[in-house]
Structures are given as structure tokens and as C-alpha cells.
Amino acid sequence: MPRKSLIRRLNRPKHKRKRMKLCGKIPPRGRPRKYTTESIAALAFVWESYNYPSAERLIGSIAEAVRIFKRDKMWHFSPTDTGLLLSMSLGAMKLYCVSMAHKRGLMRGTGTTTPSNIKLAIPVFSGDWSKKGLGYGQIDTVVHSGEKLMGTMVYTVNYVDAATYWQEPIAQLEKSERATLVSMRLLEERLPFELKGLHSDTGSEFINWTAKAWCEREGIELSRSRPNKKNDNCFVEQRNNVVVRKYLGYERFDCQEAVDIMNELYGSLRLYLNFFQTTYKLIGKVPRIDSRGQKLKGHKRIYDQPATPLRRLLALPEVPEATKQKLAKQYEGLNPRVLLGKINALTNKLRKVQRKLGYHF
């Protein structure tokens, strides 16, 4: 018998132990549970509304989420359970989020572009993005081709601001210069700040004379990555995976009706991501050192506190007060659970339209 079990057995009076065994009331071992079933249900409600983020990303949004749900009369948990949720530690939240993720089953290359001489006219940038500032971002296209990369397909033009992680996805039916330029113009109109720079890979949809001429007219700095160096476009490449692929998957979309629904979906998704989804931002790396002071292989990444793109934008002094007030007013009229419901409904509608009107190989 383990030592601790033996100590517990000997410390318990014999007559009391026998009586408790007969009644089936042997108390559980360890400390009593602090969080009630209802407080865990409240955590699950917020966690689902924010689309299952990690505890590290969620913990800073709990108080604001409770305020929004109370404002919209969607919060039906008692003050006691609400207080337990608000006081929940990061360690406890990690345990519950991982457990809920396990129960829901959530734990678990050919290029399409050709080189061109235009590359000689567009400079390569591979330096430090922290010195660029607001308005300089990375742009890329994500193809929705399914298993076969052939025929006309839908593409998502995805933009990520390097300073704030503000994201703008836009759908288009093809990857031509004209279609991509229309998306770039719409991107410039949507951004709540001035677009100062665009950085893409070596794809011909961005690296062409049409895009270069438009950027020069608008005063936008156009740069490109080094060939075969995806890490030069690291911000948008990472968001392609965790946003576009997460919400739309790897299915094929190839009709104009699908483009229209995708842009309607992206209209809600951009608000959901920029106003409610917190992100990490890498601020540095340090050498890994063990307990004996010896240097280990690789580096340890240091991140800042998770924050939404909106919070990062509002914290910048160069953003005009009128813009900050406009964004704050817009934020007060939004609800993450309502937005997520619209996103899920439009995703289902998109798949139905593709099955009905799309081309099937």
C-alpha cells in the first residue's frame, strides 16, 4: 500500500471508517472542489462564444465577455458562479479548457505562380517588422481548390497588419491582376488606418506592373519576399492557416455565388477576429538554459500579453482620437456569440451553394 494511503487509513477512526463504508459516504481525497458545475458551464459558454481559444488567450477576455452578455441579456448564471469564473486562475482554466477540448475532439507542395522580370523593379524586404509601424502589412492569396488545382477557383486575398495583427480577408473568383487589384482597393477602403505598405510573396497576382502602378499612385510601399523563403511572410502565412483554413477548410469553391457568400461571411469574420480574438505577439528570443546554467539547443520565445487587434490599435498614440472613438462605438454594438452564429450559418450556406451550383470533378 502506498505510504500516503496507509497514513490516511491509520488516521481515520476504525468505527467511523466502518460506518462510512456501510453508508457509502467515504469522502473524496484531496482538497474540496472550488469551482461549481455552473461556474464551469459559464466558462464553457464564454469559451464556445470565442470559438475555443486557449486559456492563455481567453483569460484576459472573460470580464469583458461577461459584461457584453449581461448587456445583451444572454447571461443566465448566478452572481456566485459569475464571481467564481472571474476569479478563476490561469492554471484551473487551462485544465478545464483542455478537458473540454478533448471531449469535443479539438486536440489533434506545388506553387501556382511563375517568375517575372517585374521582380527586378520591386525591392526585397526581409528585415525587422517591429520598426515598420502601423499600416505596413503582409498580403497573400489562399486557394480554395479542393483536391484538384484546375479550372476556375475562388481565392481569398488575406491581409495582416504587422503592428496590430488587424486582419482583412476578401474573396475573389480568380487570381488575375484585375481581380486582385479590385480586392486591394477594397482592402484599402476597409482598413481603419492608412495603408502605407504591402508585402507579398513572389506571386504574379501581386508582383505585376498593374499592382506596382496602383501602389505608386496611392503612395503605398510595395515589397516582396525572397524566393522560397516563406518565413519572410510569416504573419500572413500563419493567419492563413489558423483563420482561413480553420473556418473554410480545404474544400473547393468555384462559382460566383460562393464568392458572394464568402464575402458576406468575411464581413462578420473580420469583426469577430479584430474585435474579440486575442493574439500573441513575439517580442524576442532568449537562449535556453537548464537548471545547471548550461546552454541548451534552440531559443525560448518571449511573447507579450494576449490582446485583440482592436486593443493593440487603440493603444497606439499615432491613431487619431476620432478613429478610436469610432471603433469604440462600433465595439459596443457587437456581440461575439451573435457574430459566431452568423459565421457558422453562412459557412453552412456556402457549402450548400457550392454543392448545388459549383463544378464537381
Question: For the CA atoms of 304, 307, 308, 312, what is the dihedral angle to 10 degrees?
Answer: -70
What are the tens digits of pLDDT across the range 36-49? 999 999 999 999 99
pLDDT of residue 110: 45
- Strand order across the beta sheet in which 167-172 lies: 167-172, 154-161, 136-144, 197-200, 221-224
Position of cell 462510512?
20
Q: What integer is the mean pLDDT of 126-139?
A: 88
Q: For the stretch 45-77, what's the b/e string if a residue is b when 16 or more beta carbons lie within 10 angstroms of its beta carbon?
A: bbbebbbebbbbbbbebbeebbebbeeeeebeb
Indicate whether 21 pLDDT > 70. no
Query: How many angstroms separate the CA atoms of 360 and 112, rounded?
Result: 21
Q: How many CB atoms lie within 10 A of CB 130?
A: 12
Alpha helices in the chain (DSSP H): 3-11, 14-23, 37-49, 55-58, 62-71, 79-86, 90-103, 177-190, 209-218, 234-239, 246-248, 256-276, 309-314, 321-332, 336-357
Contact present, 229 and 124 (Cβ < 8 Å): no
Tell whether the torsion through CA atoms of 102, 336, 346 and 143 is positive or negative. negative
Confidence of residue 120 (pLDDT cuts 50, 70, 90): confident
Query: How many angstroms separate the CA atoms of 296 and 285, rounded?
Result: 13
- Where is pLDDT greater, at 341 or 13? 341
Three-class DSSP category at 88: coil
Query: How many angstroms separate the CA atoms of 162 and 82, rounded?
Result: 36
Task: Calculate what percentage of the chain has a pLDDT beyond 90.
Answer: 61
DSSP one-letter string for 12-63: S-HHHHHHHHHHT-PPPSSSPP-S-HHHHHHHHHHHHHTTS--HHHHGGGHH
In 3D, which of 169, 205, 173, 211 has the Cα closest to residue 190? 169
Q: At what angle do helices 336-357 and 256-276 cross, to 10 degrees?
A: 160
Q: At what angle do helices 37-49 and 336-357 cross, to 10 degrees?
A: 50
Confidence of residue 15 (pLDDT cuts 50, 70, 90): low
Write out the three cell numbers for 143.
Answer: 486557394
In 3D, which of 260, 248, 257, 270 has the Cα closest to residue 144? 248
What are the tens digits of pLDDT across the range 212-244? 999 999 999 999 998 888 788 888 888 888 889
Distance linking the first and last C-alpha atoms of the chain: 65
What are the tens digits of pLDDT across the range 253-296? 999 999 999 999 999 999 999 999 999 888 888 888 888 888 88
Confidence of residue 23 (pLDDT cuts 50, 70, 90): low
* pTM score of the predicted model: 0.81
Indicate whether 61 pLDDT > 70. yes
Three-class DSSP category at 284: strand
